[in-house]
Structure 1
Amino acid sequence: MVLNVKKISKNFGGIQALTDVSFSINEGEILGIIGPNGAGKTTMFNMITSFYTPSSGEITFKDEVISGLKPHKITDKGICRTFQNIRLFPEMTVLDNVLVGTHSRTVSGVLKSVLRTKSQKQEENNIRAKAMDLLETVNLLDQYDDIAKNLSYGQQRRLEIARALASDPKLILLDEPAAGMNERETAELHHLIMKIKEMGITILLIEHDMPLVMKTCDRLVVLNFGKKIAEGDPEEIQKDPEVIKAYLGTEEDDESA
Structure 2
Amino acid sequence: MVLKIKNISKNFGGISALTDVTFSIEEGEIYGLIGPNGAGKTTMFNVITNMFPPSSGEISFLEKKITGLKPYKITDKGICRTFQNIRLFSQMTALENVLVGGHSRSKSGVFSGVFRTKSQRHEEEKLHQTAKELLELVGLTPYEDVAAENLAYGQQRRLEIARALASKPRLLLLDEPAAGMNETETEELVYLIQKVQQRGITVLLIEHDMPLVMKLCDRITVLNFGKKLAEGTPEEIQNNQAVIEAYLGKEEEDDIA
Smaller-chain TM-score bracket: over 0.9
Change (3 A) 1:252 1:178: closer
Structure 1 residue 248: deviation in Å? 2.9
Tell me which residue corresponds to 1:186.
Answer: 186
Structure 1 residue 249: deviation in Å? 3.4
Tell me which residue corresponds to 2:241.
Answer: 241
Check the 8 A contact 2:103/2:127 in 1, yes or no: no
* Aligned equivalents of 1:18, 1:250: Cα separation in 2: 24
Structure 1 residue 48: deviation in Å? 0.5
Query: Are 1:71 and 2:71 an aligned pair?
Result: yes
1:109-134 Cα deviation digits (max 9, x unpaired): 11111111111111110000000000
Q: Secondary structure at the match of 1:75?
A: helix
RMSD over aligned Cα atoms: 1.3
* Aligned equivalents of 1:44, 1:252: Cα separation in 2: 27
Query: Are 1:54 and 2:54 an aligned pair?
Result: yes
What amino acid is the match of 2:67? S
What amino acid is the match of 1:3? L
Tell me which residue corresponds to 2:132.
Answer: 132
* Aligned equivalents of 1:228, 1:250: Cα separation in 2: 19
* Aligned equivalents of 2:253, 2:161: Cα separation in 1: 35
Tell me which residue corresponds to 2:7.
Answer: 7
Normalised to the residue count of structure 1, the TM-score between the two structures is 0.97
Q: Secondary structure at the match of 2:104?
A: helix
Check the 8 A contact 1:238/1:248 in 2, yes or no: no
Q: Secondary structure at the match of 1:17?
A: strand
**Which segment is superposed worse, 22-31 or 101-110?**
101-110
Check the 8 A contact 1:222/1:231 in 2, yes or no: yes
Q: Which ranges in structure 1 are unaligned for 5 or more consecutive residues?
A: none
Tell me which residue corresponds to 2:117.
Answer: 117
Change (3 A) 1:229 1:50: same
Identity of aligned residues (%): 70
Q: Which ranges in structure 2 are unaligned for 5 or more consecutive residues?
A: none
1:61-100 aligned within 5 A: 61-100=61-100
Check the 8 A contact 1:32/1:217 in 2, yes or no: yes
Change (3 A) 1:12 1:126: same
Tell me which residue corresponds to 1:144.
Answer: 144
